[in-house]
Structure 1
Amino acid sequence: MTAHYHVLGAKQFNRPELEELFESAIRMENREIWSTDPRYSGKVMTTLFFESSTRTRLSFESAMCRLGGKVIGTENAAQFSSTIKGETLEDTIRIVSGYSDVIVLRHTDIGAAERAAKVADVPIINAGDGAGEHPTQALLDLYSIRKECGRIDGLTIAMIGDLTYGRTVHSLSYMLTNYENIKILFVSPENVRIPTYVRHYLEEKGVSYAETDRFEDALTSADVLYQTRIQKERFPSIEEYRKAEGRYIINAEILERMRKDAIILHPLPRAGEIAPEVDDDPRAAYFRQARNGLYIRMALVEKCLQYEG
């Protein structure tokens, strides 16, 4: 089987690879005119989403279109694919590989992207696998931090909210281990703390971190407040969800207590944890962050397809 460049998890990236992707993203962002590139004419991306998505799916589709390729796919593969008839993920990937040059996969199961890559004849890009990882989100998060703060080395990043089921937090934590003098502050309710396996990986890599349930600890120390949604759909019971709901909300009062040079990021969608009144503050970078997803995903698609030759 031909070797392919798959994007499966955050741990696969080293610092030179990250810098190469960021430089490609800058090049994409600085293109004044979007014109069809003959290298991508006739290339087809399939977006195969078993979970709902707005930003990830549309930014990947926009990325492929802006490069000059075409897109096919489904935003609700759990219902509108042969999965509903009992087809396995592996068989679906074998079939879809025959129609595609690259597959962007979002699935409910942790490890689904790795399973897909074992049988695919084309590159697989992990667009989120349950509560596991979301590596392309972590890439755009790092790119956003680099643009907003001017650097990544030496920063303190507070990750706030649902840290157990928040796959974006897991991937960003892994990716931050490529940088020097990073400090991570995990702020969460007791029942959604960062998983043990993430902590162990940070310890292996020598990254400094601390855990707390006090929001106040992040406001004075963090360069980046990475706010996340409490993901109701992933909790085992409504009782567990209610223990975590509404604990940390960034509003006008919190803005007054934050550092003036800090930034606020959020993988979105938000569900009340950032008040609309925050949006006009220059430290609110989450909509700029979402925009950056287009450029990073253009760079990733380019890398996947160029690797194919």
Structure 2
Amino acid sequence: MSLQNKSIISIRDLKKEEIELILDKAEEMENKLKKKEPLYSLKNKILASLFFEPSTKTRLSFSAAMQKLGGSVIEIEYSTTVKNLVDKIKMIENYCDVILLRHPREGSARLAAEISKKPVINAGDGSNQHPTQTLIDLFTIRKLKGKIENLNVSLVGDLKYNAVMKSLFYALGIFKANITLASPPELQMSWENIEEVRDKFGVKIFQTNNIASAIEEADVLYVCGIKKENFLDVFEAEKIQKNFRITLDLLENAKEDLIILHPLPKEIEIDSKIDETKFSKYYEQANFGLPVRMAILSLVCE
């Protein structure tokens, strides 16, 4: 099995075995980083980092990953969307071995992959997909819990517009986790997505607008923020944000070995007092970004 020259656009494009290959490679990368072994497998390879909207964490993480592997990075940022994405991709492909693309328009990464002679890695295309973050999430869960299958995983927050949640939801279906979806009615996961995952993978999916019930039986609590711009009424948005905030009180009935994850950076959705508790694993999760993205680049470019 090989991912050489394969574009990573959506978690849907990856078979379970391919995901496991990436996770195993990430484990290998993590061990090499700990031992401070020299890594030059991508020497003379170039990553073109093409961002049409800001995302400091993803951009820096991939840049560090490429340089750790001995490669180099061309960074290109645009403050606004450029009309002719096709021309940009056709030009940039001449100067690199792989393209990292972040674009606010859904489907932009797929379009880029279809026209590019070089593999494209989707660093987020609007509210559609964010596959590399999902691979980090899966690695974190497997690393900290020893498995993904049959775990009770609760997704809390914006399940309608958040690309990370959509990607992770599908991936949890692939690995047969039991999934609870907790969100305000206005931000529920689409019924089409729920039906697709339930019918395709036969997993148990529960829906609730009660955070306490989502926490009670959870092995993993994955939280994302709720953005005010998705509401017409700012005051209503603030009210919902407060109602979907994870606090210490809510964790009183949580499992002893519950882990809380978040793609970061977080705002008010998790009480800062939780940062120092045994439940908080989101900073550890962020640290796993480097070996996972090294694994992706290594498998795609070698």
TM-score by length of 1: 0.91
Deviations 1:79-121 (A, max 9, x none): 4x8x2xx4x1111111111111111111101111100011112
When the two structures are aligned, how many residues end up with a matched partner?
Answer: 295
Deviations 1:213-253 (A, max 9, x none): 001111211111001011334x1634464463222212222
Identical-residue share of aligned pairs (%): 36
**Residue in 2 aligned with 1:18?**
19
Query: Matched residues in 2 for 1:54 and 1:258: separation?
Result: 33
1:227–1:265 contact (8 Å) kept in structure 2: yes
1:170 aligns with 2:166: yes
**Residue in 1 aligned with 2:132?**
136
- Counterpart of 2:183 (choices 188, 207, 210) is 188
SS of 1:267 mapped into structure 2: coil
- Counterpart of 1:99 (choices 82, 95, 99) is 95
Query: Matched residues in 1 for 2:67 and 2:135: separation?
Result: 20
SS of 1:225 mapped into structure 2: strand
For 1:33, give the aligned amino acid. K
Displacement of 1:275 in angstroms is 1.5
Q: Alpha carbon RMSD of aligned pairs, Å?
A: 1.7
2:129–2:163 contact (8 Å) kept in structure 1: yes
**Residue in 2 aligned with 1:266?**
262
Structure 1 unmatched ranges of 5 or more: none
1:63 aligns with 2:58: no
2:101–2:124 contact (8 Å) kept in structure 1: yes
TM-score by length of 2: 0.93
Deviations 1:243-289 (A, max 9, x none): 63222212222232321111000011111111221111122110111
Query: Matched residues in 1 for 2:112 and 2:264: separation?
Result: 26
Structure 2 unmatched ranges of 5 or more: none
2:173–2:198 contact (8 Å) kept in structure 1: no
1:60–1:297 contact (8 Å) kept in structure 2: yes
Query: Matched residues in 2 for 1:60 and 1:197: separation?
Result: 32
1:46–1:73 contact (8 Å) kept in structure 2: yes
Displacement of 1:35 in angstroms is 2.5
SS of 1:158 mapped into structure 2: strand
For 2:226, give the aligned amino acid. I
1:226 aligns with 2:228: no
Displacement of 1:15 in angstroms is 1.8
1:13–1:175 contact (8 Å) kept in structure 2: no
Query: Matched residues in 1 for 2:119 and 2:233: separation?
Result: 38
**Residue in 2 aligned with 1:48?**
50
Change (3 A) 1:131 1:154: same
